[in-house]
Amino acid sequence: MVEVRELIGIMNDWAPPSFAESWDNVGLMTGDDESLVSSVIVTLDVSEETVEKAAGEGALIITHHPPVFKPLKSLAGTDVASRIVRLAVKRDVTVFAAHTNLDRAPGGVGDALAETLGLTMVSKLETPRCKFFKFVTFAPADAVEGIRCAAGKAGAGVIGRYSMCSFETSGTGTFIPSADANPHSGKPGVLSREAETRLEMIVPAHLSDMVVAAARNAHPYEEMAFDLIPLENTDSTIGYGAVGELDRPMSPDSFAGYVAERLGIGTVTVSETAPDTIRRVAVMGGKGRDFIGRAASVGADAYVTGELGHHDYIECPGDMMLVDATHCATERPVLDAIRNRLAASMPGEGLVYHIQDGLAPFRVINRYS
């Protein structure tokens, strides 16, 4: 048995809630993070059947799509969200959602789709500006290394492929301890001038509280002076979708069949126009119509996503090939990514993982078959 908070901690380290869009609803939907579970159900959507299965197996449900997306005024309704929440509470089932934060996380929805399609040289398709701070504190020179290590272990000082990045300058600090103070140096009521080092490290916004706490714990002063200064830096590993290269060029027809095969679906819908050869491919799990222009701007020969409409095909820029592989099929690869990450982070715990396939909530009938 494993405490739910351990599993949620792994998910939040990977896809922090701060990555989510402001309109989104992520995190615990129902249940208690102190509860114990023996298995995990990973799914794209929560149904009443999913809740019953979780109750019978003592499982935590990790879902991509939040069962509660819009605020509920009451749980007495007959709508799907109300029914699911009522049942989950009644059956004491914990439900956790990772939505747009998982879309944007490194190794998240877009990266998992790119990996399934065998793309190489992969980068994010769209990298929105992410919030960073510069953490600054002041300490005696002999204490700086301990503070830097503590802050670094908490997530500060990471720039691209480099860690423990920092900058130091020397100066003089002044202070007057009060009669009730317990100063590291100096005397109460007397102005003290001390040689200090200014330490600076970059910090992602979602880790700033942990970095400050870690630095404070390693700091020798009774009161740690510090700044959190907003920065304009971006992180190329955080963002939506992905773009990469096929290991061999394909014709449009061959590529369409390849996508259908790799995603395990019978058919895909493609645009009438397409270049002669497909090599550079952009992908976006789920509903990706808003990123068609972005895919064209990065030189994609084809763009694979879901929920494309009539006018998307008509207005597609240039001769880029559009491939609608459905919302569910383009997001399903992330379910395996979730399971694999949890299993790798908790080896030997004996948890059982169930993947509930994201099946489209509709079916296509060929009247001529």
DSSP for 172-207 reads EEEE---TT---SSS-TTS-EEEEEEEEEEEEEGGG
Q: Give the CA distances from residue 276 to residues 254, 258, 293, 356, 367, in Å, rounded to whole numbers and listed in that order.
A: 11, 16, 20, 38, 33
For 193-217, b/e burial (b = at least 16 CB within 10 A) is ebebbbbbbbbbbbbbeebbebbbe
Identify whether the C-beta of residue 192 lies closer than 8 Å to the C-beta of residue 159: no
- Partnered with residue 112 across adjacent β-strands are none
Per-domain boundaries in the chain: 2-104+333-356, 118-126+240-325, 132-231
Neighbour-count burial of 191, counting CB atoms closer than 10 A to its CB (0-12 exposed, 13-18 middle, 19+ buried): exposed
Q: Which residue spans within the chain are E strands per DSSP?
A: 2-3, 27-30, 36-37, 39-43, 59-63, 95-97, 120-123, 132-139, 167-175, 192-204, 226-231, 242-250, 269-270, 278-287, 302-306, 321-324, 352-356
Report the C-alpha dihedral over residues 340, 329, 273, 251, rounded to 10 degrees.
50
> Which top CATH class is 2-104+333-356?
alpha beta
2-104+333-356 and 118-126+240-325 share one CATH topology? yes
Which pair of tokens denotes residue 132?
A: 């960073």
> Which top CATH class is 118-126+240-325?
alpha beta
87: left (phi over 0), alpha (psi -120 to 50) or beta: alpha
Task: Spell out the per-residue pLDDT of the chain, length 369, in tens.
Answer: 899 999 999 999 899 887 888 899 999 999 999 999 999 999 999 999 999 999 999 999 999 999 999 888 888 989 999 999 999 999 999 999 999 999 999 999 999 999 999 999 999 999 876 678 999 999 999 999 999 999 999 989 988 778 899 999 999 999 999 999 999 999 999 999 999 999 999 998 878 999 999 999 999 999 999 999 999 877 778 899 999 999 999 999 999 999 999 999 988 999 999 999 999 999 999 999 999 999 999 999 999 999 999 999 999 988 999 999 999 999 999 999 999 999 999 987 889 999 987 666 777 666 654
Per-residue model confidence as pLDDT tens digits over 114-170:
999 999 999 999 987 667 899 999 999 999 999 999 999 998 998 877 889 999 999
Q: Give the CA distances from residue 47 to residues 91, 195, 364, in Å, rounded to whole numbers and listed in that order.
A: 13, 62, 21
Task: Please calculate the CA angle 102-18-339 and round it to the nearest 5 degrees.
Answer: 30
pLDDT mean across residues, the chain: 93
pLDDT of res. 368: 57
Q: What is the spatial distance between Cα 213 and Cα 217, in angstroms, rounded to a whole number?
A: 6
Q: What is the spatial distance between Cα 351 and Cα 39, in angstroms, rounded to a whole number?
A: 5
Task: Please calculate the CA angle 333-338-341 and round it to the nearest 5 degrees.
Answer: 125
pLDDT of res. 19: 85
Which pair of tokens denotes residue 314?
A: 């008509």
Pick the CATH number of 132-231 from 3.30.390.30, 3.40.50.720, 3.30.70.120, 3.90.420.10: 3.30.70.120
pTM metric for this prediction: 0.81
Identify whether the C-beta of residue 38 lies closer than 8 Å to the C-beta of residue 352: yes
